[in-house]
């Protein structure tokens, strides 16, 4: 290998590494986050959904786009839940009362949990509200979406359906 081709190889390799870091871990096993019911109570981990496609959505009561995303997620859960989709809304409000006030105005027909200490949000690198993470049936993080725009909803649905169409792991 010449010095010039070595430099080109190094630049290309750095580009791939940089993109992987920018993608926030797409293609790697999702972290095993422990989440709790909003307002306290039982705990649940993301591993509890193994074998399903998981749409993990981080939201907060003060987030305008979050209110727009809930009807979309309600529809997805209703239409695709029987095919193996589990939507998990992860609240990041400091006060459970703020989350409950939001939910009184914007009902959710999918599972809701809280990440009180923000550990799961930190592990996944949440950078915006809402932030959505699509995890395949094997527990691999496949897609990340920052924010929510109704004009992008169909593309997001297409990604969910593609993951649902993938073969389930052999047991």
SS3 category, 61: coil
HSE-CB for 168 with a 13 A CA cutoff: 9
Cα diameter, the chain? 65
* Distance of alpha carbon 113 from the chain centroid: 13
Residue among 37, 155, 15 at smallest CA distance from 91 = 37
Report pLDDT for 146. Answer: 95
Structural tokens at position 116: 């009180």
Report pLDDT for 117. Answer: 85
For the whole prediction, is pTM greater than 0.85? no
Report pLDDT for 25. Answer: 72
pLDDT in tens, the chain (171 residues): 454 443 333 333 333 333 333 445 788 899 988 899 886 778 889 889 989 999 999 999 999 999 999 999 999 999 999 999 999 999 999 998 999 999 999 999 999 999 988 999 999 999 999 999 999 999 999 999 999 999 999 999 999 999 999 976 554
CATH number, span 25-165: 3.40.30.10
């Amino acid at each position: 290998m010449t010095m010039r081709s070595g430099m080109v190889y190094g630049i290309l390799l750095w580009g791939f590494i940089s993109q992987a870091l920018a993608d926030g871990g797409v293609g790697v096993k999702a972290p095993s986050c422990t989440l709790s019911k909003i307002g306290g109570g039982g705990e649940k981990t993301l591993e509890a959904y193994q074998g399903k496609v998981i749409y993990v959505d981080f939201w907060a009561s003060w987030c305008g786009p979050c209110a727009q995303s809930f009807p979309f997620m309600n529809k997805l859960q209703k239409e695709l839940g029987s095919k193996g989709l589990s939507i998990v809304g992860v609240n990041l409000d400091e006060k459970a009362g703020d989350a409950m006030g939001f939910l009184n105005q914007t009902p959710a027909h999918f599972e809701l949990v809280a990440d009180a200490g923000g550990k799961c949000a930190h592990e996944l690198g949440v950078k915006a509200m809402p932030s959505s993470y699509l995890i395949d049936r094997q527990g691999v993080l496949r897609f990340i979406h920052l924010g929510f725009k109704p004009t992008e909803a169909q593309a997001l649905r297409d990604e969910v359906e593609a993951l649902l169409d993938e073969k389930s792991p052999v047991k």
